[in-house]
Structure 1
Amino acid sequence: MPDHLEPETMMREISDLEGRIGELRQAAGMPAPDLRATLDAALVELELALSALRTIGTGRPGAAGHSASAETERRVLRTVFQDAPVPLFLLDRDTSVRRVNRQAATLLGTSPGYVSGKQFTAFCDLATRAALRSQLAAVVRTGRRRRVAVRFMGRDRPIDATVTLARVWIRGEPDPMVVAVAGAAGSPVTREAGEAAADGTRREPTARQHAAREHAVQEAPAAPPPDGQAPDVREPARPPSGRLSAVPRPAASHADDDQAVATIVHRMDVLANASELLLDEPVFNETVAVRRCARLLAAELADWAIIDLVGANGSTPQAAQAAAQAAQNARSWQASGQDDPAAADPAGALSRQVVMGPEDDRSVEATQALEELAPDPGTLPYTVFTTRQSALRPHVEELDLLGVGADGQPVCGTIGATSVLCVPVEDGDRCLGTITLAGSGEHGPFDLLDLAVAQRLGRYLALVIRAARLYRRRAEVADTLQASLLPKRLPEIPGVDLGARYMTATHGAEVGGDFYDAFRTRDGWGLVLGDVCGKGEDAAAVTATARHGARLVSRWRSGPGEVLSAVNEALMEEDRFVTAIMAELEPAGERVRISLGTAGHPPAVVVRADGVIRTASRGGVPLGLFDDFEAGLDFLDLGPGDTLFLHSDGVLEACDLARQEFGQERLLETLAGTAGRPVQDMLDAVQAALLDFCDGDLRDDVSMLALRVLPQSLA
């Protein structure tokens, strides 16, 4: 192409210049930037701008002078390109790779066909990309050869090289092309040491590096160094992935094959660890599972792990805010009589759940920014979620692949990601979200083996999330139903202080069978506490019958014995039995006379004001078993400060790790120790003793009801 710039060409040059200047600014703000290379590139851009200004209005030189030179260069390329002993890249004007020779493919650890068509800068680290683009533009514009220090993202580890850029003209091509010749540079260790010395920091090996080193040492024999060279003492890179690689690579040596086996073993370990971490919960917990999965992936497979989910439980502020906003929008559209456009958007509720990355200060800031960044349309997570198709980008060409931050900078540039993969989180029926992994290329790009592991983990996580959400919905239904079986609040009974406590079993999401109630009777007040055999919806129906039956019958029958007999008749049609205890209160001056009726239930406990403990008599059979029911009856006389304590068998049968029961003696000791304290303190003490004894693991529901006679001055 002639050096004269037409108006259309000038506009294109200006647009390209603006883009390259923006990349230089971003490169200067990256961690450990190569400021010298960036400065040189900026000076090159100034020279290009000056050269472009000088061409405005000048005459167009003839093309004859180019034809002989172009033909000569074309013959040379045809002869030596493929068999040249050095890596060669033939680049278009826009820096995309037209062709590479075998040496260049070997340098990158891939095949010539994979490299062709991709941006040349996609195979370089982010710190050198902006400067390289400027130098390429200068070569195309001026024709002067340039040498640039480049760090290629090789298949197994970064490779430092010096690239010589030269412009060539090829007949039939409207634009000039660039030949890039890669030569050896200093050792990556030397470069890393120099960078560490420059910024005063040293990058510690990640868990992923330690895993690679461990497997490489255990599985792969050490290869002898070439003659005359010192052994390579660099940090062992991630083992290659063998024939499963998404990036085709040349034939491997025996050492490479051994390392490939080590890589497969490592991935199997990751899957095994994931299974253990996700399932090691007595009760499925979505938030715990998601964070465990992200932490494992960030430690073993990637530098960054991002998990986005739809229909989350609102455990994060972002999820709660998104759900609230979606609900508000839906109500607004409904009020206007129009269809909500978000209803047709399958990813409208996709929200960021967790971001895991390195723990240095800069990465912590990036993590916080990413947590606030939604997976908007156009980003890779959004696309993978809507299409339910996994995506693998071994070499990132578009830095806004994961979106753009609030500061206007592409996310990939902010976190230094040169390789990205994203998989859907599917449970077989629907897509629940996505898992995104990003790497800096220090261990090579992601491959098909990494993708397969991430897909399997996505499946594992989806199943755990589905189970957790089903469990949570059942627990919510159970809680709602359980609340309907207990009084919302206890009545205020003159002359006594009344308190109750209910604790659900630690395991399971079914409705418990315990119940208690306090209500007016025909002659005063009544208390009832019972336990239905079994759990679940069927048990809940029996619980409701027993509780409300006792409350209703007490309005027209006197005495616990008669009330319990009537309830027994109502329960004879049920297939479950009920143990219960009922008390009727009869005020007698400063004292209260208690009539007790027991139906196969643990006896009531009386705690005297001076700490003396007495238990009522046992008796009766459970309700709902026999037609000829007869309750066990007893009568108690309570004075000021005395307490009547009713409880279910869940108190006595709570077990410790040795399967030893809490028992009645421990209960009586706890009650005696709180004889002079308020009723709520007494209930708190029993609850604390129970939870401490069983280490918080209640195997059955627990219900307690306590009544204390108040002195006349407090009544």
Structure 2
Amino acid sequence: MAGVEEYGSELADFRRRVEELKSARALPQGEPMSALDAALFELQHVVDVLWPRYVQLLAASGRHGGGEHPDTREQQLLRALFQRLPMPVVLLDRDGVVRRLNVAASELFAIRPGYASGRALTGALNHGVRAAFRSQVAAVARGEGARSLRVRLLGVPDPENPAGGELRATLTPLRPPREQRSAVLAVFQLAAQNAAAPATRPPGDVDGEVSVDGAPVHGDLVTRPPALSEMTRHAELLDLVDDMASELLVAASAQEAVERAAAVLQERFADWVVVDTRTDADGPLRRAAVRVSCDADPAVREAVAAQDPARVPLVVDAVERGREALQVRPEAPGVLGQDEGGAPVLVRTEASSLVCVPLELPSGTVLGALTLLRTGGRRPFAMAEAGAVSRMARHLALALHRWS
């Protein structure tokens, strides 16, 4: 039975990887080559591995494996060494989900260990390399040998440094004690062009503490007073809420209120602003406004504007269930729905973080949804910012109700 269960799990993994490869159609021309290579690799895996294993399972029963008991002190020593390694190291399962990462990796990907555990590492990588990275991780976990590939962090390319954000990922199999399935140890190195960049502070000082912006961190707890930058950001949010309310007060119609609100948010707060509305609680949703910077691809803007909001999962959750969503490095390509060609909008917009909140009246009636996106390497939405968006959404809902 163990062999059958492992084979079924491998088939499920293969199916998920194939679904992700489909999203490569949304990438700009020239970028999907790594995804195409990964697709050919997966097809060859079916021919060389999955089918012979299926025939073998029909003829023989699975075998159960065992493990040795590790020494407790040895494990503690290895964990300490893992955390102290100066290079970014991540322990992944066969799906690319983070099981453990050291301090250097936490700093490289700008995520805390407690948040990263149980989440796919591909969320921190550029959309164009996610499928290839996941495919190679799965191959290493299957025991097909160590691999090395180039990946790129999710961020805005630097024209003066084409290799900016590019990493060399080295993948090697690792069998944890008392486990039947292999894990993957991933080591990341900066590309050669970045080797001359100033070194970051080594993880851990003489007292065994890690610092973030000069403040000591004990585990996941940052023991520091509010910084001036945080106070400034809070004041900026208050100004934004005030300016938004002022624009809504001078609007002469519901559509003008939507357009004024979208303009304020896009100019000062988000890269993409999408507003979906309906006239009453039972009415159909329509896409009332789409605002994006002038340097965005017009074809992508038209595709987003032509979407049916009723087919966008996040919008449906906000309107029908009143749910608010804050996602940083969203992993599921379908959260923002698809365009008319079936390509995921999340991939086409290159969104790195998003907020979606309902336009809800005090009575509980929901008149639509407000969706904001930030793209590339821009700072992701924070909890405080999501709270401000929720307040502005209530103001917009009251303005819409005024003309309903």
Confirm or deny a common fold (TM above 0.5).
yes
Query: Equivalent residue for 1:173?
Result: 179
TM-score by length of 1: 0.46
- Deviation (angstroms), 1:55: 4.5
1:264 to 228, 234, 239: 234
CA separation in 2, counterparts of 1:173 and 1:447?
37
Letter in 2 for 1:137: A
- Deviation (angstroms), 1:111: 1.9
CA separation in 1, counterparts of 2:221 and 2:153?
15
Deviations 1:585-618 (A, max 9, x none): xxxxxxxxxxxxxxxxxxxxxxxxxxxxxxxxxx
- Deviation (angstroms), 1:185: 2.8
CA separation in 2, counterparts of 1:70 and 1:95?
25
Q: Is the 8 A contact 2:248 2:261 kept in 1?
A: yes
CA separation in 1, counterparts of 2:14 and 2:127?
18
Letter in 2 for 1:407: G
Q: Is the 8 A contact 2:274 2:372 kept in 1?
A: yes
2:245 to 258, 266, 275: 275
- Deviation (angstroms), 1:23: 2.8
Query: Equivalent residue for 1:85?
Result: 86
CA separation in 1, counterparts of 2:101 and 2:344?
29
Query: Equivalent residue for 2:209?
Result: none
Q: Is the 8 A contact 1:377 1:383 kept in 2?
A: no
Q: Is the 8 A contact 2:100 2:117 kept in 1?
A: yes
Q: Is the 8 A contact 2:254 2:403 kept in 1?
A: yes
CA separation in 2, counterparts of 1:147 and 1:70?
29
Q: Is the 8 A contact 1:109 1:249 kept in 2?
A: no
Deviations 1:413-463 (A, max 9, x none): 232223211112233223222101122242132111321221222122122
Q: Is the 8 A contact 2:13 2:95 kept in 1?
A: no
1:309 to 277, 286, 296: 277
Deviations 1:514-569 (A, max 9, x none): xxxxxxxxxxxxxxxxxxxxxxxxxxxxxxxxxxxxxxxxxxxxxxxxxxxxxxxx
CA separation in 1, counterparts of 2:268 and 2:288?
20
2:191 to 179, 185, 209: 185
Q: 1:101 to 1:121 in 2, by over 3 A?
A: same
> Is 1:95 equivalent to 2:65 in the alignment?
no
Query: Equivalent residue for 1:130?
Result: 131
- Deviation (angstroms), 1:401: 1.0
Q: 1:71 to 1:18 in 2, by over 3 A?
A: farther
Q: Is the 8 A contact 1:358 1:364 kept in 2?
A: no
- Deviation (angstroms), 1:251: 7.1
CA separation in 2, counterparts of 1:249 and 1:435?
32
Q: 1:385 to 1:356 in 2, by over 3 A?
A: same
- Deviation (angstroms), 1:9: 4.3
Q: Is the 8 A contact 2:261 2:396 kept in 1?
A: yes
Query: Equivalent residue for 2:368?
Result: 433
Letter in 2 for 1:111: R
Letter in 1 for 2:187: V
Query: Equivalent residue for 1:458?
Result: 393
Query: Equivalent residue for 2:264?
Result: 296
- Deviation (angstroms), 1:227: 8.8
1:26 to 23, 26, 39: 23
Q: Is the 8 A contact 1:166 1:178 kept in 2?
A: yes
Q: Is the 8 A contact 1:153 1:444 kept in 2?
A: no
Query: Equivalent residue for 1:119?
Result: 120
Q: 1:68 to 1:8 in 2, by over 3 A?
A: closer
- Deviation (angstroms), 1:186: 5.6
Q: Secondary structure at the match of 1:414?
A: helix
Q: Secondary structure at the match of 1:48?
A: helix
Q: Is the 8 A contact 1:310 1:432 kept in 2?
A: yes
Q: Is the 8 A contact 1:122 1:395 kept in 2?
A: yes
Q: Secondary structure at the match of 1:376?
A: helix
Deviations 1:460-502 (A, max 9, x none): 2122222233xxxxxxxxxxxxxxxxxxxxxxxxxxxxxxxxx
2:284 to 349, 353, 356: 349
> Is 1:285 equivalent to 2:282 in the alignment?
no
CA separation in 2, counterparts of 1:261 and 1:403?
36
CA separation in 1, counterparts of 2:199 and 2:17?
44
- Deviation (angstroms), 1:113: 0.8
Q: Is the 8 A contact 1:71 1:170 kept in 2?
A: no
CA separation in 2, counterparts of 1:75 and 1:261?
41
Q: 1:310 to 1:227 in 2, by over 3 A?
A: closer
Query: Equivalent residue for 1:524?
Result: none
Q: 1:75 to 1:141 in 2, by over 3 A?
A: farther
Gaps of 5+ in 2: 159-163, 201-211
Q: Secondary structure at the match of 2:333?
A: coil
- Deviation (angstroms), 1:139: 1.0
Q: Is the 8 A contact 2:122 2:134 kept in 1?
A: yes
Q: Secondary structure at the match of 1:81?
A: helix
Q: Secondary structure at the match of 1:132?
A: helix
> Is 1:397 equivalent to 2:331 in the alignment?
yes
Q: Secondary structure at the match of 1:45?
A: helix
Query: Equivalent residue for 1:408?
Result: 342
Letter in 1 for 2:174: V
> Is 1:382 equivalent to 2:316 in the alignment?
yes
Gaps of 5+ in 1: 191-224, 229-239, 313-345, 470-715
CA separation in 1, counterparts of 2:379 and 2:70?
38
CA separation in 2, counterparts of 1:371 and 1:428?
29
Deviations 1:372-396 (A, max 9, x none): 3233377112212233342211121
CA separation in 1, counterparts of 2:61 and 2:223?
51
Letter in 1 for 2:149: V
- Deviation (angstroms), 1:141: 1.6
Q: Is the 8 A contact 1:143 1:166 kept in 2?
A: no
Q: 1:454 to 1:88 in 2, by over 3 A?
A: same
Query: Equivalent residue for 2:356?
Result: 422
Name which structure has the greater RCO, CA cutoff 8 Å, separation 6+. Answer: 2
Q: 1:47 to 1:75 in 2, by over 3 A?
A: farther
* Mapping for residues 133-532 of structure 1, pairs under 5 Å: 133-153=134-154, 159-185=165-191, 257-281=227-251, 284-311=252-279, 349-359=284-294, 363-376=297-310, 379-429=313-363, 430-469=365-404
Q: Is the 8 A contact 1:384 1:423 kept in 2?
A: yes
- Deviation (angstroms), 1:116: 1.0
Letter in 1 for 2:397: A
Q: Secondary structure at the match of 1:446?
A: coil
Query: Equivalent residue for 2:205?
Result: none
Q: 1:164 to 1:280 in 2, by over 3 A?
A: same
Q: Is the 8 A contact 2:174 2:185 kept in 1?
A: yes
Q: Secondary structure at the match of 1:442?
A: coil
CA separation in 2, counterparts of 1:13 and 1:399?
21
CA separation in 2, counterparts of 1:149 and 1:264?
39
Query: Would you say how many aligned residue pairs link Structure 1 and Structure 2?
Result: 374
Q: Secondary structure at the match of 2:246?
A: helix
- Deviation (angstroms), 1:89: 1.9
Q: Is the 8 A contact 1:388 1:424 kept in 2?
A: yes
Letter in 1 for 2:182: P
Q: 1:8 to 1:109 in 2, by over 3 A?
A: closer
Q: 1:101 to 1:268 in 2, by over 3 A?
A: same
Q: 1:69 to 1:79 in 2, by over 3 A?
A: farther
- Deviation (angstroms), 1:360: 5.1
Deviations 1:156-190 (A, max 9, x none): x99443222222112333422112222223678x9
Q: Is the 8 A contact 1:91 1:178 kept in 2?
A: yes
Q: Secondary structure at the match of 1:178?
A: strand
